[in-house]
Amino acid sequence: MSLTKASTFECPYCMTINDIEVDEINDIGQSQVVDCQICCQPILVTIYDRHGEFEIMAEMENE
């Protein structure tokens, strides 16, 4: 049984859809920096729980 749930977000640099694994227990309300899978730019990703659904906010790291 997997402890993570597959989700996606859009890169704020190149607008490509990226995959991310979300740990439903530990990742909610947390921020992390991940690299875009296409352009390799650093993205600040914050994960929220909105009524049982994940909301992933992706911002340029240097904003």
How much is the pTM? 0.84
pLDDT (mean) for 25-45: 95
Q: Is the pLDDT of residue 48 over 60?
A: yes
pLDDT (mean) for 11-33: 94
How does residue 40 score in pLDDT terms, banded at 50, 70 and 90?
very high
> Percent of the chain having pLDDT more than 90?
70
How does residue 63 score in pLDDT terms, banded at 50, 70 and 90?
low
61: left (phi over 0), alpha (psi -120 to 50) or beta: alpha
The residue with tokens 């640099």 is: 13
Write down the domain spans for the chain.
Answer: 4-60
